Amino acid sequence: MTGPSQFTFDAASQGQYRPPTLQQASNLQALFKSGKVAVGTALSYPSRHVAKTIAVTGADWCWVDAEHVAWSQDLLVECIQIIIHESGGKMIPVVRVPSKTAFDYMAWCLDAGAGGIIIPHMETVEEMKAIIAACRFPPIGHRSFPPFTYIPGVTDTTPEGESVFSLANKHVALIPQIESRLGIQNMDAIMKLEEISAFMIGSGDLRLDMGLPLAFDGDEPEFVTAIQKATRVSKERGIPLVGGGLGMEMVKQRIDEGYRILVCCFDLHTLAYGTIKAVGEAKAAAEEHMKEIHGN
């Protein structure tokens, strides 16, 4: 049994962002700077089997959500590594950590080889500076070297003039998620920090913070102004926006709005809606055919 041909992907193109060894982080910053629309999927099920399946789907990156899913630390690390190795380094895992102060999770995920960290509820320059300090090796920050994944002569292969530490600083993407009025107010100042690779607007939480109904989008003046500000800052600073592109029309809309890093599907929704569609079609076909058989 073979899958539809439209599900093939350009493995050679994806491979250009691979690290020297699969124990190191892929070059997510280079992908973001390429101008390419990076299409990703999301892993919310804390499952090795689901991670293995997603890893071979051809997405450029995978959003592993640890903010709203109670991952055990060892399973989270394992699934990061599964995505890297099952995809041959072509899919880049990016972890949304539980909170902006979850520095232990940041260290575990980066040591496991995650190509990026999404930091939820970012609101101030001071908070972002603390993230940069924790996630960058010296001289930029104070991230500690990983003694239990660092094997000299085996996992530390790098181009001439680079070290695993300098390469990690160049490869790993830091992605603040802004989702409050205060975050929007401080957005210009936050995005002036050099180590930010991309940023997100958490539309749902932002709308709730504004006293608006939960939705991905809306036409309320305050919300529209916030989104327009994000688009302006993205263009002025050359920092790409990350957002949902659920369906062809939304993909086109997001690109027009300046988004270049998209999440096209979530494992939960794919399983639920895919199953609902298949079951519904099978029931309708069965009912129709039974009527044909019985002549009524």
Average pLDDT estimate for 84-102? 96
Residues whose CB falls within 8 Å of the CB of residue 129, separated by 6 or more in sequence, listed in order: 193
Is the pLDDT score of 45 beyond 90? yes
Is the pLDDT score of 93 beyond 80? yes
Is the pLDDT score of 296 beyond 80? no
pLDDT for res 10: 53
218, with CB counted inside 10 A (0-12, 13-18, 19+), is middle
- Distance separating alpha carbons of residues 39 and 61, to the nearest angstrom: 7
- Distance separating alpha carbons of residues 166 and 163, to the nearest angstrom: 5
Q: Which domains does the chain have, with CATH numbers?
A: 17-266 (3.20.20.60)
Residues whose CB falls within 8 Å of the CB of residue 193, separated by 6 or more in sequence, listed in order: 125, 128, 129, 132
pLDDT for res 252: 87
Report pLDDT digits (tens) over 204-248: 999 999 999 998 889 999 999 999 999 999 999 999 999 888 888
Omega within 30 of 0 (cis) for the link into 139: yes
Q: Nearest-CA neighbor of 163 among 7, 287, 24?
A: 24
- What DSSP designation does 6 have? G
